[in-house]
Amino acid sequence: MARPAMLIGALLAVLAGAPSLAEPPAPDTINVIGRKPEEVRREAQEFVRQVGVAERPVARWAEPICPHVLGVAPEIGRRVVDRIRQVARDADIKVAKGPCRTNIVVSFASDGAALTRALAAKAPGRLIKVAAEDRPALLEGDAPIRWWHATEMRAKDGMGTTGNEAPPFAKLDGPGGVPMAGEVYFQYNSSIASTRMVRVLKAATVIIDANRATGMPLDSVAAYAALVSLAEIQSNEEAPANSILSLFQLNGPRELTALDTNFLRALYRLPLDRTALAQRGLLVRGLINPPGKGDN
């Protein structure tokens, strides 16, 4: 296992344990035969609530993803990277080809909390987007896997950035614009509330505590890392039972479930220039009537 100091240096550079022999079982599927529509809707609503992705306007990757793994042997790192890339491709998320600039870093460490604290001390700017209420669990918690994202605001046409999480208060252009405190500006066109700015992911950091993840298949841990790096999922003790996010719970899924995959596909088909409330509704709808791979 790499020393924390070495991991910190490598993690900063790319951002500016052996696999288990156990074979993971087949992914769970959703059996809707005989289920009432209201039951399916409740399950979808609860899933969206628990992952917390649209508590504020959604952020997702606008640039192709380029994952990199630290702290393990190269062959294990390649296996994890390949899994993340495959999960992205299955959800029609853009994946960088050839040499690329790393924007997702997955680090294996003997003490995940210690590595996070050391990284925060050496490069506090890396955690600047982490909410104050989330920092204790990230820095002191005992979760086997912890993660955080960096985001930025862009004009909704995708051109240009503000470099900030929220735009400054400014005069609106033309009639129909409404300022939303702490979020974004809205403009009403053809009866649709459309934001003038959108949130996008700039970087994702995932730290895997190798000691606490001992006994789990490597492919399962990689699938978990893929989900939390591709979506701005909120760390929550109340993880969905029908999700890879429950991997470390008793009898938790060992692979991405149908809900996980359908969630990613629905997420990357959402219009970003909408309110969080509208996006939650669209995510629920996407889980009830999931889009197929390649659908637009």
pLDDT of residue 142: 94
Q: Which two tokens stand for residue 222?
A: 């990689």
pLDDT of residue 291: 76
Pairwise CA distance, residues 236 & 239, whole Å: 6
Pairwise CA distance, residues 50 & 218, whole Å: 25
pLDDT of residue 268: 96
pLDDT of residue 184: 39
pLDDT of residue 162: 47
Cα angle at 216 between 210 and 217, to 5 degrees?
110
Q: State the Cα torsion 179-185-188-191 to the nearest 10°.
A: -100
Pairwise CA distance, residues 220 & 211, whole Å: 15
pLDDT of residue 236: 80
pLDDT of residue 207: 98
pLDDT of residue 243: 97
Which pTM value belongs to this model? Answer: 0.79
CB 148 within 8 A of CB 129: yes
Question: Secondary structure of 23-44 in the HEC alphabet?
Answer: CCCCCCCCCCCCCCHHHHHHHH
Q: Residues of the chain whose pLDDT is less than 50?
A: 12, 14-30, 32, 159, 162-192
